[in-house]
Structures are given as C-alpha cells and as structure tokens.
Structure 1
Amino acid sequence: MKASSSCTRRSLAVLSLLALTACATQTTAPGAVGVERRQMLLIPSAEVDRAADQSYRKILSEAKAKGLLNRDPAELARVRAIGARLVPVTATFRADAPRWQWEINVIESGEVNAWCMPGGKIAVYSGLIDKLKLSDAELAAVMGHEIAHALREHGRERASQEQAASLGLSVLGAVAGLGSGAIDLASIITDLTLLRPNSRAHETEADRIGVELAARAAYDPHAAITLWQKMQATGGSQPPQWLSTHPAHDSRIADLKIFADRVEPLYLAARQR
C-alpha cells in the first residue's frame, strides 16, 4: 500500500511538471520591432490584475496619507497627457490593452523611478522628471518602456516562475509526504515591481516595444537614447530600479538606436496625422 501511494505521488509530480510546459504562450503581437517569445504563464491574468490593483491601492493610499500623491497638478496633467497618447497605440501589440483600467499617478519623491504594474497601473516619481529634466519625448520613452512590461505580462510571467518554483517544492514535498503553503500574490507583485530588477530578456523586450509605442504616439523614438545617456550621467554604474543593470550600457544604447531607426517611419507618419 505504501509503495502504491509513493508511485501515485511520483506520477502526480511528473504530470505537474509536464503541465508547466503546456502553459507557454505569446502574449503580444510582434509589432514592427519583432518581439516574439513564448512565456510560461501559470497564474490567470485576472488573478494577477486583482493582486496588482490591491498592491497599487495600498501604495497610493500610503503616498496620499503622507501628502505625496499628485502634489503638483501641472506635473500630473503633463504625465497623464503623455499617457493618453500612449495607451491607444498599445492596440498594436494587444487588441484588449486600450480597454484596460489604466491609471496614472505621480508620487512626490526624490527617487528616480517609474513603474507599471500588471493591468496598466502606472506610477511616475517626481524625482525622475525633475532630476533628469526630461522632455516629453524622454518621459514618453520611460512610460512606453514601463507599459511594455505590462503588455508583455512580465509581472505575471515572473510571478508564474515563483509559483513554478513553489510548485516544484510542493511536488517534492508531496513525494516526501510534506505540506506546502499558498503564495501571497499581492506581496509578490509589489516585490517584483518595486524591488527586483527585470531580466535581460524582459528589459530588451521593453526597450524595443517602448520605442515603437513612443513612435506611434508621435514622440521621437530616439529620445530613448538621450534618456539612457542622462541615466548614465546621473546614476553612473547604478541605474534606477526601473531599469536593470543588464544589458550593459553600450550594448543597450546600440540596440535602442537600431530599433529607434526602424520605427522612425512610424513616428514621421504619426506626426502627419
């Protein structure tokens, strides 16, 4: 009887691990920049969006309590106006994206930072704008980059990787006869968005999609290059949390130039509309 139970647990373990490979999907159209990579997405998008909304509300509530939320009406209006041009062109990559419950807020902070949680929950920190003296096109490059992370569901993908690791431990625990605990998805989303840098693959995808979003919204895509140069001058070898340290500065700038050149016709066409 014990041998039979052990075999059953091992069979379930194998089936669980094999099931992970069946969850790979392409979340976006490739666009002019040609971003194509299948992703392992174990957690339903609605569940991730709910967790992101919960996390976002908590961050906004804390900022508001400290008098740091949307303190400068002109700055808020500027950021939201740029977002209003970027959001409609997200349809290039996902037909459903313009209908997301997008929110854009500005948090008063000396930190050079910006982020977009799953489902389109955006925060821009005043330090990013003020310290770098960003033009609208450079700010659009930042926001386009962050929006690209949401379009590609990088947060959901990374949370899924966490769940896969947890599942792997659960499977091992099941084989060994041990229990397992549930994950706190809202905490994971907060941690992934605010504290942990993205992978090289995620950053490259966000860079490329970001320049196309900016171009289609009639912002010069080459502003992504001047933005990064400003980041280098200000942050040295340590860029802000919203940009990973990978890929290396020179290769990143070279890649941005290639793809900014590629989408320049889209920018010129958008300016004529």
Structure 2
Amino acid sequence: MKMFKSVLAVVISLGLVACAESPTGRRQVLLFSDGEMSQMGGVAFDDMKKKMTINKDGATNRYVSCIADAITASLPTEWRGSWEVVVFEEASANAFALPGKKIGVHTGIFAVAKTTDQLATVIGHEVGHVLAHHSAERMSVQSVAGTGTQLIGVLLGEGAGKETVMGLLGLGTQFGVVLPYGRAQESEADLVGLDLMAKSGFNPEASISLWQNMSAVGGGQPPEFMSTHPSHASRIKDLQKQLATATPLYQRAQANGIKPVCKR
C-alpha cells in the first residue's frame, strides 16, 4: 500500500507538469522549481570557483563580460538581472551556464571562438540551456527513475553522488562524471541561443563559422546515431535554416541601435 501511494504521488506529479513545454514546444517533465535549480546552480558554481583556477586578466574578463552582459540584457524579464560571469584557466574549448544566473567560460574556447560574434554564439547556446530548463529536465528524469530523490541534499553535502549531480547540471567534464545533454537538448539550445544572440546585436551568421572551426579542431566524429550530440554537419545545417528567423532579429536589433562593442 505504501509503495502504491508513492507511485501514485509520482504519477500525480508527472500529470501536473506534463503540460510544461520548452521554448521550441517540446514536452518536458519538470519536477524542480526555479528556486531549487538556482540553489543547486549557485552551490555548484561556488564549488567550481574553489577547485578551478580563475583567470585574472582584466582585458579578457571585460571582453567575456561585455558579450555575456549584452546577451543577458535581452532575456525575458524573469531572466534579467545580474549574471555572474567567471573565466576559468582551462585548456578545453568549453563554456557553460547554470541556473541561478551563472556563466563560466574556459580560456580554451578562444581557440575556436575567434571573433566576438562566435563567442556570442557559444554563450547564447549555453544560456539557451538554462532558459529551456534542460538541467531541471535531466534532474527530473533522474528523480523519477528513483536515483535522485535527494539531489539538493547530495549537492550541499560531500557525500557519494555529488559528481553525478554536477554532471546533471552539465559540469561532468570537471567532476569526473560525463553526462552530456541529449541530442534534442543540444539542438534546442543551438536554436534558442542563435535567436538570443541575434536579438542582442550579434551576427548569427557567425554560428556557421564557429562550428566549422569546431569541426576543424575536433577532427573526425563518430556517426551521429552513436553520439548524444548532433554531428557538426547537422548542426550547421539546422543553424542555416534558423538564420531565416535569426537574421531579421539581428537586423532589427541593429536598426534599434543595439550594437555591442566588445573587444579583447
């Protein structure tokens, strides 16, 4: 009977959130509130700042913050406000954004995001993950599976499972458990991020050259059906289609005087 009530509670919870939709209209299961996700994102970010080397170069930090500030300024009202931006001394070509308005950029990203518009593509993509509640979606699936009922408590403590929670937030490469976003989530973040950076005054065509750079640096990829990420070619194709929507947003931003000047 007790087990039946537990299952019933899960079913009812799922029913209550079944109507949740991502920015592209994809159905999502979301069992964690924005407040809970912000708490977890903040704790994870503070942990990273303690364990990783923070870049102190003023010019580099101003450059990254200029782009991030321009992008977050164009977010929907509930997402605006002060986002914390930190540049980490890491060789990997990576960046991330977390619930709780946190953005991290690895210095290795400059090897592929060689222009302002290309770095705006990267940051827009990562913020797109947050806007689309991708971390909350993965946390919810883990919780329903019965393996993540104490996710917040695990993260706040130092017990077993902390690395898994970090992985669910999208930080697996730093904490030993690689749990990449799914292909649908990656593609969604590409499209959401493209529109976002275009509205912020950055040229969306730079997304194509960015992924061409990524492809050149990354070398060969496994077949797409074997990977959780879309292939570079698929990403470029999808981004080219989305330019029909993003380019007018960029042109409108330019006409309205939204022209970020960010120099490294």
TM beyond 0.5: yes
> What is the rounded CA distance, in whole Å, between the counterparts of 2:238 and 2:20 in structure 1?
22
> What is the rounded CA distance, in whole Å, between the counterparts of 2:84 and 2:45 in structure 1?
10
Question: Could you tell me which residue of structure 1 aligns to residue 119 of structure 2?
Answer: 139
> What is the rounded CA distance, in whole Å, between the counterparts of 2:212 and 2:142 in structure 1?
33
Distance change >3 Å, CA 182–CA 214, structure 1 → 2: closer
TM-score (norm 2): 0.82
> Which of 11, 16, 24 is the matching residue for 1:22?
16
> What is the rounded CA distance, in whole Å, between the counterparts of 1:113 and 1:256 in structure 2?
19
Q: Percent identity?
A: 34
Question: Could you tell me which residue of structure 1 aligns to residue 5 of structure 2?
Answer: 12
Following TM superposition, by how much is the alpha carbon of 1:70 offset from its aligned partner in structure 2, in angstroms?
Answer: 2.6
Q: Which has the larger radius of gyration?
A: 1
Following TM superposition, by how much is the alpha carbon of 1:226 offset from its aligned partner in structure 2, in angstroms?
Answer: 0.8
Gaps of 5+ in 2: 157-161, 173-178, 257-264
Following TM superposition, by how much is the alpha carbon of 1:27 offset from its aligned partner in structure 2, in angstroms?
Answer: 5.6
Q: After superposition, give the CA deviation of every residue in 1:191-212 in whole Å (9 maximum; x if it has no partner).
A: 2212221101101110000110
> What is the rounded CA distance, in whole Å, between the counterparts of 2:208 and 2:113 in structure 1?
15
Question: Could you tell me which residue of structure 2 aligns to residue 191 of structure 1?
Answer: 167
1:238–1:245: 8 Å Cα contact kept in structure 2?
no
Given the alignment of the two structures, is residue 113 of structure 1 paired with residue 90 of structure 2, yes or no?
no
Given the alignment of the two structures, is residue 160 of structure 1 paired with residue 140 of structure 2, yes or no?
yes
1:52–1:190: 8 Å Cα contact kept in structure 2?
no
1:145–1:209: 8 Å Cα contact kept in structure 2?
yes
> What is the rounded CA distance, in whole Å, between the counterparts of 2:221 and 2:59 in structure 1?
30
TM-score (norm 1): 0.80
Following TM superposition, by how much is the alpha carbon of 1:43 offset from its aligned partner in structure 2, in angstroms?
Answer: 1.8
For the aligned residue pairs, the C-alpha RMSD in angstroms reads: 2.1
Query: After TM superposition, which residue ranges in structure 1, 4 or more long, deviate above 4 angstroms?
Result: none
Question: Could you tell me which residue of structure 2 aligns to residue 150 of structure 1?
Answer: 130
Aligned AA (1:213): L
SS in 2 for 1:123: strand
Given the alignment of the two structures, is residue 213 of structure 1 paired with residue 196 of structure 2, yes or no?
yes
> What is the rounded CA distance, in whole Å, between the counterparts of 1:18 and 1:197 in structure 2?
27
Aligned AA (2:29): M
2:93–2:106: 8 Å Cα contact kept in structure 1?
yes
SS in 2 for 1:110: coil
SS in 2 for 1:218: coil
> What is the rounded CA distance, in whole Å, between the counterparts of 2:19 and 2:57 in structure 1?
41
